[in-house]
Amino acid sequence: MSAASDIRKRKELLELMTGLGATMVRAGRRLLSSLPALFGVLVFTFLLMRVLPGDPAVFFASGPNAGKEEIEQIRKQMGLNKSVPEQLVFYLSDIGHGNLGRSMMTGQPVLKDLRERLPASLELTFTALLIALVAAVPLGVLAALRPGSLVDHGVRMFCALGVCVPTFVSGLLLIYVFYYLLGFAPDPTGRIDVFTSLPPQRTGFLSIDFLLAGDIDGWWAACKQLILPAVSMALFVIAPLARITRASMLVSLGSDFVRTARSVGLSWRKVVVTYALRNAILPVITIAGIVFSTMLGANVLVEKVFSWPGVASYALDALLSSDYAPVQGFVLLMASVFVLVNLIVDICYGIADPRVSIE
Amino acid sequence: MIARAPLRRSAPSGLAHNLLLSHHALLAFLSKSWGNRMRFASFRLASCVVATAALLLVANAPAQAQTRAETLRYVTGASVNTLDPNIPGSTRESFALSMSTYDRLVAFGRKQLNGKWVFDLDKITGELAESYDVSPDGLKLTFRLRKDAKFQDGSPVTAEDVKWSLDRCVTAPILGKAQLLTGSLTSADQFKVIDPVTIEVTLPKPDKLALPNLATVYPMIINSKVAKEHATTDDPWATAWLKEHAAGSGAYVVETFKPGEQVILKRSEDWNRGSPDKPAFFKRVIVQSVPEPATRANLVERGDADLVLDLQASDVQSLEAKGKLKVVSTPQYNAITFVSMNNQIPPFDNVNVRRAIAFALPYDDMFKAALFGRGSPLFGATWPDGKPLTGIYPFQAPVKIDLDKAREYLKAAGLPEGFSTTFSFNVGQASTAEPMAALVKESLAKIGIKVDIQKLPDAQMSTQINEKKLPLFTEGIVAWLPSTDYFYRNFYTGNQRWNYSSINNPELAAIAQEARFEPDKAKYEEDGRKLNAIHFSEMPQIPLWQPNQDAVMASSIEGYTYEFHRQVDYRDVSRK
């Protein structure tokens, strides 16, 4: 008996291993196939930035007495005195050496800026997405269980409200209520209260770094800063997630296996959560992946309103001042994130539904 | 290190506890029923976040630290991008920061203007210099250094350091070069070390602006021993290193510098160049970038920030009306906002067209719509005998909206039917320029001029201005050393970027050049009147107003002074 269960366990483990191996191979292949696309994005952004009107050298030489000489000097410093093809070759070779150039705006290497700011954006986006998922999936399920009921309409209205209020409006409203009027929230200025000392940097995610440093007060301070921006971002994406959960749950609830499960008298929980939701979750994962990538790049308004030192507001500032290197670095980063997120979504598919194998 | 507030950890109330428990239960339920494979680590994170959301509802605002009263928290929409203001591309906040981290030989005094403290171009006091002499012929400036002056690393400030710093300013490819040129300081040979505490500056001509130039942002005194250690053969003046590090003798030491986010300064206890020979008041200064103006207004109103300069005019007005905060509105007397025409592009090459525009602008409406009336108007004067009342630039001109007169001028220009043109402004100025543009368009339409409004990104606007391509636009200018000849030489002569109107008037250029070295005050005034008269009759551009700088601060903050760089000098302010 124990031998039999042992063999079964080993068999299961073997299956799991081969399944994992196949997933990895698939992931690697997908990663490789996305390289040409990344290269295309690189060259396209490079050219686009040069086609846009506006000479960054003139903009940055706007000190009270900057004249022609200063402009020429900045042009040289930015490498703009060379022809565009030459610039492209230099740029590509720099990228090959892991150098994304230097930002005129902050005076720092772009790689350093992005490395410092990406964790801020990721932390915010992850939190927002989690809040959104935690709110949207139950809402979608509830709506699907009683289509056409008051609950369904309530959820629909909530979603419509969330979508039609732009994030910066909801952000400003939240600040007004929770910071200005009630004083519950800390001042909306970045990731951490200025009077709190920072933990040693390990992951760049403050909420994790504080925990690693064992500083619970600091962790609490960081979480408080995070909550309002994350909620205002989450409000905006609850709608697509809840709607897709509802639609997909409706299909799943109407299918044969749920009817069978009901008819054999399985518990409500087993029917709805184990069978219906599990089978309805695939499209939700897809949408969550897309929503995540979009949020990361498009949350510039939230970042601005909450002075969040993230990558999106960095890129916007750079774009307004025609600071080429940061914009190019940002687009490259976003393209890579898209590739990665798609990959993770694929892997999640495999986990959620082992039958799926996307080639 | 920053002292943290004594902590305020109240136990979560019953409500929060229940919320917490219920969320945990829900999560446990979800993760169990989704099976083992779905149990990601992220669930734990999720539960943290949800718990935080619940707790947030009951947690209170943090109690302020003990050191809060000794800390100045200044919030701004811009950011500091370098510790050396000489680096091309450095921001105004970087200029202001360097005033506190570095000393200069001399500094501007301050005076009261309509009850507000402003910098005084005519009163120059010693900063690192204990005293200075100007030779009778005005060609030699001798500075004696304070014997107790020390750099922040403890080493004494010597004449060698001063020479190295000034040499750097006129030789290295940095911003200081072009600025010092306006004070006839162009070569390292002009700076001579006499003894360890005395330095002599020689001038080719008795230039009035030489001394004031040494008080501006760029000729800061750097610890040459430290800087030289970080110089390389490619970079003999250590520009790369000084961008990230401060090596000065200033009132504040840079504690943390995060470009684009915040800078934290610590008081240097040795520094005694303040007025009553004491260190600066605040022990710590936090300069923080907060891009959203509404958030800055909230911060200062809630008392979390102490001082802010760049609020929207509407916010300033409502904060002032509430009366809780101190609002110091100073007309920026070294700045001008104008509508400029390109004097080389038809039809604006015709002086009558320019005059027509000058009499067709709805000044009062624009002033109210753009600035809520917060500033000094440069329109609506009356000149009884048709001559300028003053030799000071900027002056208030006798222009007002008079559409009949405008139509006459258009007729005289041979364009009675009007014409089409564009009116441009940059995105950065949209909050004031946008309402203005709409009024300009509406009013010019009445005399037959059809205006297309162009809102340009900042970089694009500066490029177009540099290439002299915009026919009609609005911009603002500032002069650090606001003397009449300086304004005219820099903004109304030569084929260069800052000559916005591209005016080419030999008489104006000659008088401005002559006035530069005019030692006699009465004659200088006379030259100024002549220049102003030419400006009015040629109408190269239409000065509109000098916007106020609205400094909004906690009622406990005192000593705020409007400085030439238009930012806060942290050494000026204290808390009552």
ipTM above 0.85, yes or no: no
Task: Please check whether residue A85 touches B, CB under 8 A.
Answer: no
pLDDT at B5 over 50: no
DSSP states along B411-471: HHTT-TT--EEEEEEEGGGHHHHHHHHHHHHHHHHTTT-EEEEEEE-HHHHHHHHHTT--S
Task: Please check whether residue A214 touches B, CB under 8 A.
Answer: no
Average pLDDT, chain B: 85
Q: Which residues of B touch A187 (CB under 8 A)?
A: 298-299, 302, 304-305
pLDDT at B15 over 70: no
Task: Tell me which amino acid residue B314 is.
Answer: S
Q: How many residues does chain B have?
A: 576
> How far is B432 from B314, CA to CA, in rounded Å?
11
pLDDT at B38: 38
Q: Which residue of A lies nearest to B9 if distances are taken between CA atoms?
A: A217
pLDDT at A19: 67
Residue B97, number of CB atoms within 10 A of its CB: 30
Q: What is the pLDDT of residues A270-297, one digit of tens each?
A: 888 888 888 888 888 888 888 888 888 7
Confidence label for B99 from pLDDT (cuts 50, 70 and 90): very high
A305 to chain B nearest CA, in Å? 5
Q: What is the pLDDT of residues A253-264, one digit of tens each?
A: 888 988 898 888
pLDDT at B274 over 80: no
Mean pLDDT of all residues in B238-255: 92
Q: What is the pLDDT of residues A122-165, one digit of tens each?
A: 999 999 999 999 999 999 998 998 888 898 999 999 888 888 88
> How far is B439 from B441, CA to CA, in rounded Å?
5
Contact B88 A224 (CB under 8 A): no
pLDDT at B62 over 50: no
Please count the CA atoms within 13 angstroms of the CA of B24 that sit on its side-chain side. Answer: 9
pLDDT at B66: 45
Contact A74 B262 (CB under 8 A): no
Burial class (CB in 10 A: 0-12, 13-18, 19+), B350: middle
Confidence label for A63 from pLDDT (cuts 50, 70 and 90): low
Q: Which residue has the higher pLDDT, B10 or A234?
A: A234
The phi, psi pair for B8, rounded to 5°, reads -105, 65
3-state secondary structure of B182: coil
Tokens 């009366």 correspond to B323
Q: Which residue of B lies nearest to A320 if distances are taken between CA atoms?
A: B457
> How far is A350 from A16, CA to CA, in rounded Å?
11
Q: Which residue has the higher pLDDT, B47 or B147?
A: B147
pLDDT at A29: 81
pLDDT at B73 over 50: yes
pLDDT at A64 over 60: no
Tokens 């208030």 correspond to B396
Tokens 């012929």 correspond to B137
Q: Which of B308, B331, B330, B335 is nearest to B319 (CA)?
A: B308
B293 to chain A nearest CA, in Å? 9
pLDDT at A99 over 50: yes
pLDDT at A134: 93
Mean pLDDT of all residues in B196-208: 92
pLDDT at B19: 34
Q: Which of A326, A341, A351, A352 is nearest to A112 (CA)?
A: A326
B282 to chain A nearest CA, in Å? 15
Residue A197 tokens, joined: 């000392």
Tokens 């219906």 correspond to A276
Going by C-beta distance under 8 Å and a sequence separation of 6 or more, which residues neighbour residue B54? B16, B19, B20, B23
Q: What is the pLDDT of residues B477-501, one digit of tens each?
A: 888 888 899 899 889 998 888 899 9
Task: Please check whether residue A189 touches B, CB under 8 A.
Answer: yes
pLDDT at B53 over 80: no
The phi, psi pair for B441, rounded to 5°, reads -60, -45
Burial class (CB in 10 A: 0-12, 13-18, 19+), B90: buried
Contact (Cβ atoms closer than 8 angstroms) between residue B472 and residue B339: yes
Going by C-beta distance under 8 Å and a sequence separation of 6 or more, which residues neighbour residue B340? B472, B473, B474, B475, B500, B501, B540, B541, B542
pLDDT at B115 over 50: yes
Burial class (CB in 10 A: 0-12, 13-18, 19+), A109: middle
Which of B31, B466, B483 is best to mutate for the A interface (most A CBs within 10 A)? B466
Which of A106, A227, A304 lies closest to B292 in CB terms? A304
Mean pLDDT of all residues in A341-359: 73
pLDDT at A238 over 80: yes
Q: What is the pLDDT of residues A178-204, one digit of tens each?
A: 988 888 888 888 888 877 777 787 788
pLDDT at A273: 83
Mean pLDDT of all residues in A55-70: 70
Contact B175 A65 (CB under 8 A): yes
pLDDT at A131: 94
pLDDT at B20 over 90: no
> How far is B247 from B425, CA to CA, in rounded Å?
39
Confidence label for A2 from pLDDT (cuts 50, 70 and 90): low
Least confident of A286-295, B52-61, B123-132, B271-280: B52-61
Q: Identify the bridge partners of residue B477 per DSSP, sorted by sequence position.
A: B336
Q: Identify the bridge partners of residue B125 per DSSP, sorted by sequence position.
A: B107
B56 to chain A nearest CA, in Å? 7
Residue A341, number of CB atoms within 10 A of its CB: 18
Confidence label for A320 from pLDDT (cuts 50, 70 and 90): confident
Q: Which residue of B lies nearest to A302 if distances are taken between CA atoms?
A: B292
Average pLDDT, chain A: 84
Residue B367 tokens, joined: 């002033």
Which of A9, A134, A226 is best to mutate for the B interface (most B CBs within 10 A)? A134
B36 to chain A nearest CA, in Å? 11
Confidence label for B45 from pLDDT (cuts 50, 70 and 90): very low
Least confident of A4-8, B110-114, B245-249: A4-8
pLDDT at A25 over 70: yes
Q: Which residues of A touch B30 (CB under 8 A)?
A: 273
pLDDT at B34 over 60: no
Of the spans A61-70, A104-113, B242-251, B276-285, which averages the highest pLDDT? B242-251
pLDDT at B520: 87
3-state secondary structure of B71: strand
Q: What is the pLDDT of residues B428-479, one digit of tens each?
A: 888 889 999 999 999 999 999 999 999 988 878 888 888 899 999 999 988 8
Residue A201 DSSP class: P
Q: Which residues of B touch A220 (CB under 8 A)?
A: 52
> How far is B379 from B320, CA to CA, in rounded Å?
26
pLDDT at A291: 87
A336 to chain B nearest CA, in Å? 22
Number of helical H runs and strand E runs in chain B? 18, 20
For residue B421, give Cα distances in angstroms to A174, B418, B449, B501, B573: 44, 10, 7, 16, 47
pLDDT at B3 over 60: no
Residue A142, number of CB atoms within 10 A of its CB: 18
Task: Please check whether residue A13 touches B, CB under 8 A.
Answer: no
Q: Which residues of A touch B209 (CB under 8 A)?
A: none
Helix (H) or strand (E) holding A246: helix A216-253
pLDDT at B22 over 60: no
